[in-house]
Structure 1
Amino acid sequence: MKRILVIDDEEWLREMIQLALRQKGYEVVEAENGAVGIEKARKILPDLILCDVNMEKVDGYRTLSSLRSEASTAAIPFILMTGLADNAGMRHGMELGADDYLPKPFTIDALYAAVEARLKKSQALRDEAEKKLADLRDNISMMLPHELRTPLNGILAYGEILAADAASLQPAEIAEMGQIIHESGKRLERLIENFLIYSQIELIGADPQRASALRKKQTAFPRKIVETRAALQAEATGRSADLKLDLSDKPVAISEDYLTKIADELIHNAFKFSKAGTPIQISLFPSELDLTLSIADHGRGLGTEHVRRVGAYMQFERKMHEQQGLGLGLVIAKRLTELHGGSLIIQSEQGVGTTVIVRLPLAMPA
């Protein structure tokens, strides 16, 4: 049985709503003002909240803001009821996180329609989140054991040799084994980091409030981030001479951490899947509405079907080419871009190379 919390300082209206909703099989809890409503919401965690806007002590907007600021109540569907449904008030309520408005006076049919629509949407979001988690578990169960064991086996094997035979080994041999252990550890670190980030962004994508909050972050100087990450990866692969940069600057609507992650993954792939001596061209340029990041290599490229099937835990042509990791880098970049209202396009031709184009919305002026 779905539980609905009704917050209104007019007793007769609460009684009317309660009777109507109970006839439909809902459990109804009443609160006579916003302060009481907040406490009851925290305690019972209802499936839906109906709240009047104009109340003494704590009005509907403050009630909504308070509940949206707490993790346990932030995702509860919230309908504001008001006799003053002007555009400014409705916009303010939506900015605070209201799911719908129910103008007073309303009919019983309008009440039923609003409640049922919100509950259905909430259930659909929960089903989507559960499906994504189920898919994630299935993919992890197939791919993760192998991907974890590969670097872990290297660490354990060479660690065992060093522990048992250090006295008989030459310094060069010890150094070589130490380097292999270090590289295996970094590979394991990257794998775990990508797994955690992918899990996080899939959950954010299923929560409209969290996704909306994500888009309010900004990076004032994206050029510096792209330039720094490109230089570091070029140096790490010994290919600084292959790096070609053409970068402009404009504030963009994404956090520095997530922009860094997108740049890291795409630049990493460009160096990883192309040969030394071939150029990596990275461009950053603004238009009227967005900022475009373009990363082009002259590597082996992807076929049309491979581009279409970009998905989580998918590695392309694994039997033909040795690869490391879960193949999550491109997917993480794509999902992060989409969560911020942008787009990621892959242009690729086998044997010619790949260009990845990321468009992110510009930051709104403060």
Structure 2
Amino acid sequence: MSKILVIEDEFAIRDNIIELLEIEDFEVFSAENGRIGFQQASEHLPDLILCDVMMPDLDGYGVLSALRSNPTTATIPFIFLTAKAEHTDIRQGMGLGADDYLTKPCTAEELLEAVKTRLKKQEIFEKQSQLKLDELRRSITHSLPHELRTPLNGILGNTELLLLELEDLDVDEMRKMLEDIRTSSQRLNRLIINFLLYADLELISANNQRIQALQKSSVSSVDTLISDAAKEQARLFNRETDLQLKLQDSPVKIAATRLAKLVEELVNNAFKFSEPGTPVSVKTEVKDNKFVLLVSDKGREMTPEEIQKVGAYLQFERKLYEQQGSGMGLSIVKRLVELHDGKLIIESIPNKETTVRVELAIAANL
């Protein structure tokens, strides 16, 4: 049974709506003003809210704004009931995140149709979200244990050999084992950092205040930052000569550490999925008042389906290619770009080139 909250200050209207909804077997809660309505919503977490606009103490816009600012109530479907039908009023409500707008007086059929339509859409949305969650869970189950065990095995195995055969090993053998331990440790550390970062970005995405704080960050100059991040990845893959840089400097609305991470993941992927001796290009430009970052490689292409399904812990064709990594790199980039109101575009031409294009807002001169 779906739960519906009715927030309406006029008793007669509120009572009629409650009676109508209860006849249709909905569980109904009600409130006579906006402040009580917000408290009821936080307490009962209804499946849908019907709310008047003009109310004492806290009007409908204030109720909706408060609901959307609270992570526990932010996604509850919300329908305005109002005698105000001006275009500007409707746009104000929709801008705050209202799902529908009914003008009073409305018929019982109109109200019930709006309620059932919105609940049906929410049901479809929740099913899709559950499917994505199930897919994420399967991906974690398959990829994360492997990604944790592989570097751990390298660390434990080489450490055990050093302890057992220390007296019989020469300096070169010990150096090789220590280098293997360091490589495995760096891989494990990178995995943990990315896992924690992705989890934090997901939490930020559900908190409007943190999103706003994130979007206030900016960096005045990016060419050296991008160059250093790209060169470090080239060095890790021993492919310094494959890296091609063509950078145009610009102030950008993103924190320096976030931009460096974005470049790190894109360039790491470009080297990971392309052969030594083939170029990896990193280019920046200012176009149409946007800062554009382009990372290209000549490696394996991505299909349109793979591009569409970019997500955490998802590796494409792992059994065939056995690539290293948890698949979080592009997901981190995607989420960072989304949180900064940017664009991420992936273009892949079979047997030719894959290019990842990131567009971010230019910051005012600092």
1:217-236 paired onto structure 2 within 5 Å = 217=215, 220-221=218-219, 223-224=222-223, 225-236=225-236
1:3-51 C-alpha deviation (Å, 9 max, x unpaired): 1111121111110110111111111111111111122111111111112
1:102 aligns with 2:102: yes
Q: Name whichever of 122-131 and 61-70 sits farther off.
A: 61-70
Matches for 1:281-292 after TM superposition, within 5 Å? 281-288=281-288, 290-292=290-292
Q: How does 1:1-366 map to 2 (within 5 A)?
A: 1-166=1-166, 169-194=169-194, 217=215, 220-221=218-219, 223-224=222-223, 225-249=225-249, 259-274=259-274, 278-288=278-288, 290-297=290-297, 299=298, 301-302=299-300, 306=303, 308-310=305-307, 311=309, 313-316=314-317, 319=320, 323-330=323-330, 333=333, 340=341, 342-350=343-351, 354-360=353-359, 362=361
Which range moved further: 82-91 or 329-338?
329-338
Q: Displacement of 1:128 after TM fit?
A: 1.1
Give the partner amino acid of 1:344. Answer: I
Q: Report the Cα distance in structure 2 between the residues aligned to 1:307 and 1:118, rounded to whole angstroms.
A: 31
CA distance in 1, matches of 2:318, 2:166: 40
- Kept in 1: contact 2:296–2:355 (CA 8 A): yes
Q: How far apart are residue 249 of structure 1 and its match?
A: 4.7
- How far apart are the structure 1 equivalents of 2:289 and 2:85? 32
8 Å contact kept, 2:342–2:361: no
Q: CA RMSD in A?
A: 3.6
Aligned 8 A contact 2:222 2:251 in 1:
no
- Name whichever of 55-64 and 133-142 sits farther off: 133-142
With the length of structure 1 as denominator, give the TM-score of the two structures: 0.81
Q: What is the CA distance between 1:344 and its match in structure 2?
A: 1.9
Name whichever of 242-251 and 62-71 sits farther off.
Answer: 242-251
Q: Deviations over 1:123-149 (max 9, x none)?
A: 222111110111122233333333332
Identity %: 41
User: In 1, Cα distance between the equivalents of 2:2 and 2:238?
Assistant: 61
Cα distance in 2 for partners of 1:46, 1:250 equals 47
Q: State the AA in 2 paired with 1:33.
A: N
Q: Secondary structure at the match of 1:84?
A: coil
For the residue of structure 1 that corresponds to 2:130, the secondary structure is helix
Instruction: Tell me by how many angstroms 1:229 deviates.
Output: 1.9
TM-score for the superposition, normalised by structure 2: 0.81
SS in structure 2 of the partner of residue 268 of structure 1: helix
Q: How far apart in 2 are the matches of 1:51 and 1:363?
A: 39
Alignment: residue pair count: 356
